[in-house]
Amino acid sequence: MSAAVAPQHRPGASNCAPRRRPREPDWNSFYKNGLPKEVIVIEDSPDPAPSHAPSRPVLPDPAAENGLSSARKRKAPERSDVGSVGNITTNGSSIYSSHSESNLSRKRRRVGDPPESTPSSSQSAASVKRPKYDEYKPPRVPTQRVLTADIRVVHDERSHGSAASVDDEDGHFIIIPEQRVGRQYRVEKLLGQGTFGKVVKAYDMVRQEHVALKIIRSIQKYRDAARIELRVLQTLRKNDPSNRYRCIHPRDSFDYKGHICITMGLLDSSIFDFLKSNSFAPFPNSHIQNMAHQLLTSVAFLHDLKLVHTDLKPENILLHDGAYQAFTYNRNIPSVSTATCRQVKQRRVLLKPDICLIDFGSATFEDEYHSSVVSTRHYRAPEVILGLDWSYPCDIWSIGCILVELFTGDALFQTHENREHLAMMEAVCGRPIDRGLVQRANKAFKTAKPGTINYFKRLKLEYPITETTRASRRFVNNMKKLENIIPPTNAFLSNFLDLLRKMFAFDPNNRITAREALRHPWFQECTRDDGTEAARLHAERVSAIR
């Protein structure tokens, strides 16, 4: 891209000497390298009122790029290497913004681009096509369930039966760069560590590619849990060999020196890590819709296999590629609370919002044993909190929480206490918990084990109570209703709000299913925003390279 910038005259010299008539510019010389492809106009006028039109991409400052600016250049942050994810490096500085901090507040507008205002219907129709999502096709029936995980034992020929320990005192595998794990994998670096074990970036010397290698602790309860997870993973692969349903697949599994090892494809950061690195700026609406369709497709597939994931959250959704384009933002971020008001000057927008669902360690077959408490707190469904039977609908509640978080950048229910959590649910949904669900909870309470708390009185949630803190009351009172978090100002947002209301049905029997959600009218709506603009820019770059 070339840009023409008009020459600037030095001010302040007019009083010292007679003003000369400026020479006519030699345009042939000025454009000796050809006419510019586009012209960048830099304005310092106030930012326009927020709208749903795409913002302008933040372009690198040529002066800063060449060291002509004294302002400190902004570093592109390193990718997150947490969990079973890897760091895939992208090429070219056009993806990561390295402009000067001093220029972040400037509005940059391309001559000839649409103005930063809400586009007319004709503009929208011309520039944004109606999204085309693949129709959900269930897996072939009968579905196949793996009964016992297939794990081969791998011996280290070089150790010749040596009993030398490779573990630390907690049973974790000691990671040493360049060490061999089995005959096939060479460790490169640690990606993450948890209670289950460690995840490393490794090189598969047979297939000649990088993989994520999960090494489970050599403690029996973690080995047993790994076998259960691997059984689920192998079931997913068996029913979806081409991985069209976007769930992580195991490539290999083996037992090495007391450690169960699972290899998987190397992906990018989680959408939570992307949010965090993006100052928790929300995703564009077009990306929320795209990710929602992918996630619902994955979950519909699980449910057709009679599996409940039980731990859906942004940390367990990985990006295939975290490459992004920076855009100016300069607007208030939607919030779940009246007490919160955030702004960011710019946000990073993914070039491709492709995702993959991971972490099946808590996944449960519908007809097998169900633990009493499932899901991470913020994404936990009301029936789980109330100690009632749970099934597929608890995944749908979690998806609703995730979609609101993508829209605001913040978790919807930020609490760690059951009574407060239920009160927040009522505040957001704008209605009391269904009487039928309360009656089932009261019935379950009568036969519950000692210490179980009853949260209702006369079929109504008892909140606040004497022990409730002032901070808790204030927090619950400040919660916005769902329609105030996502104002239905157009057809896209109205349909989005309608889908969320169906996901947030208190009674799991009335909650929308994953298959029904995929047929919701929201997925026929189109929107023009930074996400569609990033896709256009990405397509232009790919076309230029070809």
User: Known catalytic residues?
Assistant: 311
How are beta strands 107-110 and 209-216 bridged, if at all?
unpaired
Is 441 in contact with 484 (CB distance < 8 Å)? no
The residue type of 236 is L
The alpha carbon torsion through 344, 346, 350, 356 (nearest 10 deg) reads: -20
Both tokens of residue 214? 């999960």
Is 87 in contact with 270 (CB distance < 8 Å)? no
Angle at 473 between CA 472 and CA 479, to 5 degrees: 90
Question: For 402, phi and psi rounded to 5 degrees?
Answer: -65, -45
Q: Which residue ranges are tagged as binding site?
A: 214
Please give the sequence-ordered ranges of beta strands (E in DSSP) within 234-276, or none if there are none: 250-256, 259-265
In sequence order, the β-bridge partners of residue 255 are 153, 260
Q: Please give the C-alpha separations between residue 98 and each of 503, 530, 542, in angstroms, as whole numbers.
A: 40, 19, 21
In sequence order, the β-bridge partners of residue 185 are 181, 204
- Of 468, 478, 321, nearest to 410 by C-alpha is 478
Distance from C-alpha of 459 to C-alpha of 437, rounded to nearest angstrom: 9
Q: Which residue ranges are tagged as binding site for ATP?
A: 214
Q: Taking the alpha carbons of 59, 64, 68, 70 in that order, is the dihedral positive or negative?
A: positive
Distance from C-alpha of 7 to C-alpha of 27, rounded to nearest angstrom: 12
Distance from C-alpha of 83 to C-alpha of 150, rounded to nearest angstrom: 23
Sheet of strand 180-181: strand arrangement: 152-154, 250-256, 259-265, 209-216, 197-204, 185-193, 180-181
Distance from C-alpha of 172 to C-alpha of 195, rounded to nearest angstrom: 9
Distance from C-alpha of 425 to C-alpha of 482, rounded to nearest angstrom: 10
Distance from C-alpha of 486 to C-alpha of 336, rounded to nearest angstrom: 9
Is 408 in contact with 400 (CB distance < 8 Å)? no
